[in-house]
Structures are given as C-alpha cells and as structure tokens.
Amino acid sequence: MGLVLVARREDRLLALAKDLTADYGVRCDVITADLTDPAAPQAIMARVTELGLDVDILINNAGLSGSGAFADTPFVELANEIQVMMTAVTELAHLAVPGMKERGFGRIVNVSSLAALMPPAASLLYTAIKSYVLNLSQALDMELKPHGVHVTALCPGFTHSEFHDVMGTRDASNKLPAFLWQEADAVVREGWNAVDKGAPVCVPGVVNKVTAAAVKPVPLWVGYRLGKSLNPFKN
C-alpha cells in the first residue's frame, strides 16, 4: 500500500511525504502537477502506473475561487476554475474507475461544498461548480456501488485551511463567528467515514447539517430571491 500526494509545490509535498513516512511507515510518493493544465490528469495517472501502484482510493480536493464579478473576470481565470474543479475531477475519476471496478473495490471522495446545497448566490462559478461535483458524485455512486466502489460528495462549510489566504479573503473570513468553523482533520475524518460506509453525501459538523436541513424546503423562487439579496456584486 502506498500514498501518492499531488499538488503544485514540490517542496511542501516532499516535507509532508517525509513526515507521513516517519509517522506511519507508509510509502509516500510525490507528483508535482498543476491541474489547470488539461494534460495533468493523464500525466498523473501515467506516473502512478510507472510507480507500480493501483488507485484504490481517490481524493479530489483541489480547489480555488475567484474574487470578482463574473463579467469583470478574465475568462482564463474562469476557465482555470472549471478545469481544476470540474474537468480534472471528472477525468481523474474516469481514469481511476475501470481499475476499481476490475478489482471490486474503490473509494472516491470529491470535495464539494455546503454552498452546493444552498440557494444560488453570486460567487462566480464556485456554487455552480460545487453543485456539479455534488450531482456527479451521487450519479457515480449509483452506477458504481454494485461493483464495490463508493463515491461520496463531501460538503464542508467554513474550514480552517489555507484556502482563504490563497484567495485573499482571510480578513473577511476572520469576522465570521467561531461556531461556524471546523478544523480540517474533523472534516477529513467525517468524510472518510462516510465514503467507507457508502454514504453518497456527507455534510460534516452539526452547524452545517442544521444549515443544510433548514434550506432544503425552500422553494426555488424563494432561494433565487435570497441569492439575489446576498449578491455582493449587484449594482
């Protein structure tokens, strides 16, 4: 058994791989890749094959989000969001699934968001993309569960990570009440338990579960108006 870490920053990956091997005695390989590159998914899987490994567990966790209005954002930035969080997620799953089916075992966790369960709001493509990930995961789980492959959409809310630093929204996020936040390790544990048990959707944390349940009965037209009222880019 081995672990393959994939991200853009090799130095960070190597340091993490060293720590994981020391702490858990697990083989840990590193692949540097930028998922905004359409060739990245094929290259990643080719490298995994070269390493002599099978993909029994796939975690699609890469993400980014724009910080401006749709019409004011260069399309290349929007295309990068689509490539990283939609196209790469779909292609990596498509490349991994045949082997999982053949071996009769597989686990796929696709990181969606609590936003996918909320009324639509102006967050550029983020909410739309995460809704796609949610629906894709459920459809794949229906198709693949008879073959021993479980797929779960993990839908976290506010989680302590580097996401807000990278996106430049740290100051705004720091103003949110502490009870809304979760630690990353708690989200990971709940997400893994969900996919292992065969749950197609996981909303981690009590506050997030209550929030998701509260908005579920909202009619589409009410949700749309609510989303419009929360639009930070309206004139």
Catalytic residue positions, numbered: 126, 130
Q: Looking up tokens 């094959």, which residue turns up?
A: 49
- Fold annotation for 67-229: Rossmann fold (3.40.50)
Three-class DSSP category at 136:
helix
Looking at residue 142, what is its pLDDT?
Answer: 93
CA distance 61 to 176: 23
pLDDT of 235 reads 44
What confidence tens digit (pLDDT) does each residue in 94-150 have? 999 999 999 999 999 999 999 888 876 655 688 889 999 999 999 999 999 999 999
3-state secondary structure of 106: strand
Centre a 10 Å sphere on the Cβ of residue 35 and count the other Cβ atoms it contains: 24
Angle at 197 between CA 191 and CA 200, to 5 degrees: 65
SS3 content of the chain, % helix, strand, coil (to 5): 55, 15, 30
Length of the chain: 235
Q: Please give the C-alpha separations between residue 87 and each of 37, 90, 118, 175, in angstroms, as whole numbers.
A: 10, 5, 23, 33
- φ/ψ of 201, rounded to 5, equals -135, 135
Do 97 and 106 contact (CB within 8 A), yes or no? Answer: yes
Question: Going by DSSP bridges, is the β-strand pair 2-7/57-60 parallel, antiparallel, or unpaired?
Answer: unpaired
Predicted local distance difference test score (pLDDT) of residue 183: 83
Q: Which residues of the chain have pLDDT under 70?
A: 67, 120-124, 159-182, 218-235
